[in-house]
Amino acid sequence: MVFMILAVVPIWFVACSGSSDSAERIQQIEMGIEKASVQNSIDILMADAAVASIDANKGPGKAAVQKWTGLPKKGGRRITAGGAPVDLADYMGLDADKTKFWYCYDTDGRVLEQKTLAGNCS
């Protein structure tokens, strides 16, 4: 995970330092970096925990997720790896256990949606 962060930091620096990019373009870059980090972290967590599926967070009745403590779950329970509970907040090394943007994901752990504001999944 640390390797991935180191790999994308130069992109952020090049895209934002001394350029005249609009706030919208900067947000697109931030969204791309964070979405890739969320997806990679879910993939690694699932591999570490040896689970092929997780409880989905998708559909109109589900709120998109920004706080990752205790998530994702499987069968309504916390996922464990090596006998210890794990969550995406730990895998991403998040401050305050939340991402900047909100997410919806399926049972395969695939990120389906990324939102700039709190709201329900589609």
Tens place of pLDDT for every residue, the chain, 122 residues? 333 443 444 444 444 555 557 899 999 999 999 999 999 999 999 999 999 999 999 999 999 999 999 999 999 999 999 999 999 999 999 988 999 999 999 999 999 999 999 999 99
Could you list the residue range(s) of the whole structural domain that residue 88 is in?
2-115
pTM of the model: 0.82
Residue 120 in any domain: the answer is no
Burial zone of 88 (CB within 10 Å; 0-12 exposed, 13-18 middle, 19+ buried): buried
pLDDT reported for residue 100: 97
Cα angle vertex 64, ends 58, 70, to 5°? 95
Residue 122 in any domain: the answer is no
- Whole-number Å distance between alpha carbons of 119 and 36: 21
Q: Total domain count for the chain?
A: 1
pLDDT reported for residue 21: 72
- Whole-number Å distance between alpha carbons of 64 and 62: 6
